[in-house]
Amino acid sequence: MNTLIEYYQHLGWALSLLVMMTFLLAGAVKGMIGLGLPTVAMGMLGLAIAPAQAAALLIIPSIVTNTWQLAAGGQLRVLIKRLWPMQLGIFVGTGLGVLWLSIEGGSWVVRALGAALLLYALSGLFLPTLRVAPSAERWLGPVCGLITGVITSATGVFVIPAVPYLQALGLNKNQLVQALGLSFSVSTLALAGGLYWRGSLGGGELNASVLALLPAMLGMWLGQWLRQRISATLFKRVFFIGMALLGAHLLISG
């Protein structure tokens, strides 16, 4: 048990409490709307700790919750056949980003994180529902995956432009949830590989990430409970406004 909590002992009780509360909130958001765990975690933790630390902490909660999301729906084989070029693009983009960029690169990474959060929030609030023609998927999917991978390697956020692209494919609700789970799973594994290659993901970080799974799962259960009781549309609007304010703060303060 000492090895599990050693990271948090070094972090201090105040930051440790922030980590636990952040993953509780991030899990609740994901349980409510099917996405948002890494976005919330990176945004809130980016206020207090280095983005590379925050990205390492989200690895296990993100893998487990995305696998849970990926397993539901029964459309996985069909979605892999349709979306594999995009997923390959994510891997390639993350790999290139790891070579070109560094999530440990200082204040510019915090500003990049803020810009990614702000862009995501504004697209969620104001971007109209788009549609991608089937003929365009062959080239647009890999391009979106490549850009998503580069942004992931620099900020730890893997929703831009992956989420708007997947939403524009005309998938039904269950297919979209599973497609998001697939994309997020690939992004998380690619990010974990990049962090490990750079030496930012070791045993201590993985142990700390395992403990962060507990509040994330509790939050996800709470979010699923809330989904039956409050308007998902209203919740999404509040979520995007909160992400916009957080992103603007990180972008300005750096």
What is the C-alpha separation between 251 and 103, in angstroms, rounded?
A: 15
Q: Can you give the residue range of the structural domain that contains 205?
A: 2-253
Q: What pLDDT digit, counting tens, does each position of 179-227 carry?
A: 988 999 999 999 999 888 888 788 888 888 998 999 999 998 998 888 7
Q: What pLDDT digit, counting tens, does each position of 96-123 carry?
A: 888 876 665 566 777 888 888 888 888 8
The domain tally of the chain equals: 1
Q: What pLDDT digit, counting tens, does each position of 7-19 carry?
A: 777 777 888 898 9
Q: Are 189 and 67 in contact (CB under 8 A)?
A: no
What is the C-alpha separation between 196 and 133, in angstroms, rounded?
A: 38
> Tell me, what's the pLDDT at 47?
80
As given in the structure block, the two tokens for residue 74 are 């029964």
What single letter denotes the amino acid at residue 155?
T
In this prediction the pTM is 0.84
Q: What pLDDT digit, counting tens, does each position of 21-44 carry?
A: 999 999 998 888 877 888 888 888
- The phi, psi pair for 119, rounded to 5°, reads -60, -45
Q: Render 114-141 in DSSP notation, one character per residue.
A: HHHHHHHHHHHHHPPPP---HHHHHHHH
- Cα–Cα distance list, 185 to 63, 85, 162, 191, 236 (Å): 6, 15, 12, 10, 22
Q: What pLDDT digit, counting tens, does each position of 128-177 carry?
A: 778 888 889 999 999 999 999 998 888 888 888 998 899 899 888 778 88
pLDDT at 1 over 70: no
As given in the structure block, the two tokens for residue 13 are 């009780």
